[in-house]
Structure 1
Amino acid sequence: MSNWLRFQLELDAASAIDLDTNEQILHVAGRHIIVLLGRLVVPLFSLLLFGGFALYRATGGGFVVTGVGVQPGFDFVNWLFAVVIAALSLIWVALLVRGKPTRQARIVLGMIIAVLALLIYFRSIGGRIFYHDPQIFVGQAFDWINLVLLVLTLFSGVGVFFVSYDWLNDELILTNQRVIFDDDQVIIPRLLERRQQQQIFLEDVQDVSATTETYAKHLLGYGTIRVKSARINGDIVFASAREPMLMQQKIMGQVRALRKAMSDENYVRLVADHIYGQKAQASKPSPDIRKTTVWRWLNWLIPNNPEIDEQTSMITWRPHWLFLFKGLIGPFVWLTLGSLALVIGAALLLPSPLLIGLGTLFMLLVFFLWAAWEWEDYRNDLYILTPEKLIDIEKKPFGPEDRREAGLGAVNNISSQTSYISNLLGYGDVVVTTAGGGGAFTFERIPRPRDVVAKITEYNVRFKRADKNRSLNDMLGLLRHYHDAQLERDEINRPTL
């Protein structure tokens, strides 16, 4: 079971995130099975209840029956009900003494006592709530009541499957570059899902804590993982995690290994660059990403999304093409209704050709101006990623413009959000939180949001590593100046050739 569950988690994690070229999944932590059991209480109870009733009736069972030859009287079950009524009556009296605050509880208890009293009376006159006799209850297997019970059983079984699948799709993923919290809510697997992802780059991981708050959690082996980010409001909290201590060790081990590898690599490169003059050529991030393309002759109407500048590695996204068509619904409705009005008016009123021509011209003019406005409004909403910064441009057609920029060094967190419908149609929102009071960047209704998150992540990682290299270069430059100053003041011996 453990190996199968681990395999399923890794399989789902691989499909939930888009990995960078050199990125690989190292470990995945899912919710503990106790969470699944808690969520299965209602659907599993419904499955057993409706399925049990259907089976009971199919084999000759009946409910609330009389006249089946049972002798009237006060049997053991009735005495048991009487004891329960007596106990509940004592509780009711105790609540009555406490006064008005217990009024609702007393009403509920009173109803339960009344139902039990009716059951005692019903059974005392020879009735039975449940009675099984295949000779009396014949032909119930496929009557309308059993068909309803079977349908309810089927729905309950589907509910059990969906709850189990939804539980399996919540995971904390560790790669060699980042930690990702993938939170999915599933209605129909792979079709109607709502995804929300939050991530922290390993360079920004400040601390990882794993806690099992109670003895029960400790014995069962689950708890809470908190990944603390050096960025403000960037923490990830994953509750009810399976084997939290193992995940904590995995993350911190990878963080330490990454920091050591980066330090060693940087020192070797700096020595080769500044001491031996072996300057390495800086590499640019790859702008390669899936894009929506149309026929070349339609590019003037629907541009490629995203548009890629290979020279500068700049990527420009626009909202999903569906929202261009949504904006064009109004103009086409106007064109359709206007055409109908012209045809009906020409048939009934018999206007002159001049009036018909003027009406047609007015209708087409409004249509083209309105459609051009919607098209220009769509084209002017731009989300731009460069190797150094993010740019969000919202511009009204031929009018005001709202432009925001943030350097990649200010990025705190990158997450994606989809609703059930947007996930089905292939678009969503990408939210980029940044340091400072400027608020988050939200790339709204963008196609393939997971691809966008992966690409921003790649650019961000490269920028941060380059920024760290610049800091090390500055430090090495300072040391060189200090060394030259010492040589000028004869504080150290000059090297001899």
Structure 2
Amino acid sequence: MVDHTREILEILSNIHFFDMLNEEQLLTVSEQLDTVFFKQNEIIFEEGTEADGFYIVLSGRISIQQETNHDPIEISICQKGDYFGEEGLDFDKYREVTAKAITNVIAIHINQKQVDVLLEVYPEIIEPIRLTIKSYRLFLKHPFSWCGPREAVHFVARKNSFFLWLGLVPPIILGVTSTLLFLYFYFVDSTQNTWLSIFFGSITILFLGWFLWKLIDWSNDFSIITNRRVVSLEKVALFYESRQEAPLDAILSVETRTSQIGRWIGYGDVVIRTFTGVINLKRMSKPDLIVRLVNDERGRASHQSSKIRRISKEDTLRSRIGYDRRETSDYEEEIGEEEADQLEVPLKVKSSGLMEFLSTFFGLRIEKNGVITYRTHWFILLKKVIWPSLALILLLFVFIYSVFEFYPSINFDIILLVQFGIGIGLFVWWLYQYWDWRNDRYIVTDDQLIDLYKRPLGQEQRRSAPIKNIQTVEFERLGLISLILNFGTVFIRVGDTTLTFDYVYNPSQAQQDIFERYQQFNQKQKIREKEALRDEVAEWIEIYHEVVQKKSKSDESTPDEENSGYNIGDVEN
């Protein structure tokens, strides 16, 4: 049987609730764990069954599904280094999801008794486990549809609850005060102060609305870490929505920023720096643990990439020098398959209804031959053509009035000619505004981002940037109208410049499109670089192998030449 000890140690060291243990402690932990095997399509556990511990994936892929309206919906996919079955970290719990093996799977199983022992021996892992359980429960309530294929959410949290209560204190105090005054004037002194009771009753309703708004506002902000990126999602109810994200491989450093009050209460900011941008996860509980989690995700991704490169190099060398293929077990995932899956493009789920119909009608997002073209929202077109449209409508009413007032006077032809000339001018104005809107385009190709603007009969302005240089992608929706009509601005930081896709429909979809193109380009580039490097190294090894073989043959033939029977010394004598 294959010994997975070294592999288990590497995986445990990259899981945030074990990463504080030293190698000796990790070895002790690994000796207590059970290695389990699951065949493809095998059900590992089902929703509603008793939780018997949790699992860490050594090899293969697992689909995590949750039943919705009697239909299983896939909410996540776990792969090597991921853990699942978090209900088993808590006691006397039942499974809230179903886990099914997509491929043959090797996993580590930690039952609840073993969890209890680990918590007793290593109390430093208690807080990280609590954070994991809290994050898992929040994720089950709020799955994120924008996640790509094989993208697993490993952490999700809201701001520290201290700020929820801090925001709720004013409406609670004022609401209770206005409620008491309303009750007093309504029941005790209603005969003389009817208007006061109505006033304080209305104020109570306003404070109740304020209370609900603050509660919804706090619950709409999320900080998310997946196996691919870090995301900060902020939404001010009815006014503003923003999503900032950065790929893990674009992160330069992760640090915490806390105040004295924050250290007392247990909150702080997690500052994530990329080459040109900063993502700030604000007012997070246990910021130090979140920093460790981000670093573990980066380390795990780097370790997995290194292992894939090593195996790929071995396969190439074996092929070039004529050795047999590397032996693999039924539970080892093919490298080619893994790389291909990383290049998958997620299905674009479109919303139905009037907004989607108008988006299609105005061509706000067009995808053709792999090129995505965006136009500014139709609301911007409406703002551009509103005045020439109103002027044309007014001219129509004037024309109708002229027909009844002046026809068939001798001046009617002149009036009609003047109105026709004005109508032509207004129609040209309307067309100019329409083409001015239509010429404002944002284009995403496989390797370029293009901001293209051309004035009708004027100059063309074109800004472009390579996708490979993207650092961060953010979007904002400002104001009630943009939230209702679902449009906003996407900000793409590329090197020292920032490209903006202004007023595009469904900015979260545009952000996701750009991020997916970035991921695809990087994966293709890495595969090309790895293949070129593998071929070059393999060629050197092949040449070395040939030289060694020639040298061996030459050494074998040397004794025969020395004993050939022809001796120059004897002839000279």
How high is the TM-score relative to the length of structure 1? Answer: 0.71
SS state of the match for residue 524, structure 2?
Answer: helix
Name the residue aligned to 2:244.
198
Pick from 464, 469, 479 the counterpart of residue 522 of structure 2: 464
- The Cα of 1:397 is off from its aligned counterpart by 1.4
Residue-by-residue CA offset, 1:386-445 (whole Å, 9 max, x unaligned): 111111101111321111111111111100100122011111111101103xx2111011
Match of 1:327 in 2: 384
Cross-structure match for 1:175: 226
Equivalent residue, structure 2, for 1:64: none
- Residue 461 of structure 2: aligned partner: 402
Listed as ranges, the matches of 1:212-251 within 5 Å are: 212-214=258-260, 216-229=261-274, 231-232=275-276, 234-251=277-294
CA distance in 2 between counterparts of 1:326 and 1:3 reads 48
Match of 1:159 in 2: 210
Cα separation, partners in 2 of 1:359 and 1:276, compared to 1, 3 Å: farther
State how far apart, in whole Å, the 1-side matches of 2:550 and 2:391 are: 86
Deviation at 1:268, TM superposition (A): 3.8
1:32-111 pair list within 5 angstroms? 32-58=160-186, 60=188
Inter-partner Cα distance in structure 2 for 1:376 and 1:304: 13
> 2:146 maps to what in 1?
18
Does residue 1:435 correspond to 2:499, yes or no? no
Mark the CA change 1:172 to 1:287 in structure 2 (over 3 Å): closer, same or farther. closer
Query: Does the aligned pair in 2 maintain the 1:226–1:238 contact within 8 Å?
Result: yes
Q: In structure 2, what is the Cα distance between the partners aligned to 1:458 and 1:471?
A: 20
| Counterpart code for 1:218 | R
Aligned-partner Cα distance in 1 for 2:207–2:483: 25
Which residue is equivalent to 1:475? 533
Is the 1:212–1:224 Cα contact (8 Å) retained in structure 2? yes
Cα distance in 2 for partners of 1:279, 1:174 equals: 26
2-structure distance, mates of 1:4, 1:250: 14
* In structure 1, distance between residues paired with 2:446 and 2:317: 25
Distance 2:311 2:422 in 1: 71
In structure 1, the residue corresponding to 2:243 is in which secondary structure?
strand
SS in 2 for 1:387: coil
Contact in 1 for aligned 2:148/2:346 (Cα 8 Å)? no
Displacement of 1:31:
1.0
| Residue matched to 1:109 | none
- Other-structure match for 1:424: 484
Cα distance in structure 1, aligned partners of 2:416 and 2:441: 39
Q: Which residue of 1 aligns with 2:40?
A: none
User: Which residue pairs with 1:338 in the alignment?
Assistant: 395
Matching residue within 427, 435, 451 for 1:392: 451
Letter in 2 for 1:252: N
Partners of 2:133 and 2:460 in 1: how far apart? 53
Moved more, 427-436 or 276-285: 276-285
Following superposition, the deviation at residue 464 of structure 1 comes to 1.6
Matching residue's letter, 2:272:
V
Unaligned runs of 5+ in 2: 1-129, 321-334, 554-573
Deviation at 1:293?
10
- Letter paired with 1:262: S
Contact 2:254 2:271 in 1 (8 A): yes
Q: 2:201 aligns with which of 150, 163, 166?
A: 150
Deviation at 1:494, TM superposition (A): 5.2
Instruction: Tell me the secondary structure at the aligned position of residue 429 of structure 1.
Output: strand
Once the two structures are superposed, the pairs formed by residues 230-379 of structure 1 within 5 Å of their partners are 231-232=275-276, 234-269=277-312, 272=315, 276=319, 286=345, 289=348, 302-309=361-368, 312-349=369-406, 350-352=409-411, 354-379=413-438
Please state how far the C-alpha of 1:344 moved relative to its aligned partner.
3.7
Query: Residues of 1 paired with 2:447 and 2:426: CA distance?
Result: 41
Distance 1:413 1:239, change over 3 A: same
In structure 1, what is the Cα distance between the partners aligned to 2:221 and 2:538? 52
Letter in 2 for 1:433: R
Q: Which whole-Å deviations, capped at 9, do the CAs of 1:144-166 have from their partners, x for residues lacking one?
A: 21221121111111111111211
Return the offset for 1:29: 2.0
Aligned-residue CA RMSD (Å): 3.6
Q: Aligned to 2:143, what secondary structure does the other structure show?
A: helix
CA shift, 1:371, in A, is 2.7
SS of 2:500 mapped into structure 1: strand
SS in 2 for 1:43: helix
Assess, with a 3 A threshold, how the Cα gap between structure 1 residues 383 and 275 changes in structure 2: closer, same or farther.
farther
> 1:332 is matched by which residue type in structure 2?
S
The alpha carbon displacement at 1:364 in A equals: 3.7
CA apart distance, 1:30: 1.4
Q: Secondary structure at the match of 1:21?
A: coil
2:96 equivalent in structure 1: none
Give the partner amino acid of 2:170.
V
Would the aligned equivalents of 1:43 and 1:160 in 2 still touch at CA under 8 Å?
A: yes
Structure 1 unaligned runs (5+)?
A: 61-136, 187-191
**For residues 279 and 36 of structure 1, what CA distance do their matches in structure 2 show?**
48
Alignment partner of 1:40: what SS? helix
**Against the structure 1 CA distance between its residues 154 and 486, is the aligned structure 2 distance closer, same or farther, given a 3 Å change threshold?**
same
Distance of 2:149 and 2:518 partners within structure 1:
14
Aligned residue for 1:31?
159
Q: Please state how far the C-alpha of 1:207 moved relative to its aligned partner.
A: 2.9
Normalising by structure 2, report the TM-score: 0.62
Q: Deviations over 1:151-184 (max 9, x none)?
A: 1111111111111211122221112211111121
CA deviations 1:260-316 (Å, max 9, x no partner) are 223333444455568638998978764853569999xx99x955331111xx41111
Task: Provide the rounded CA distance (Å) in 1 between the counterparts of 2:526 and 2:146.
Answer: 25
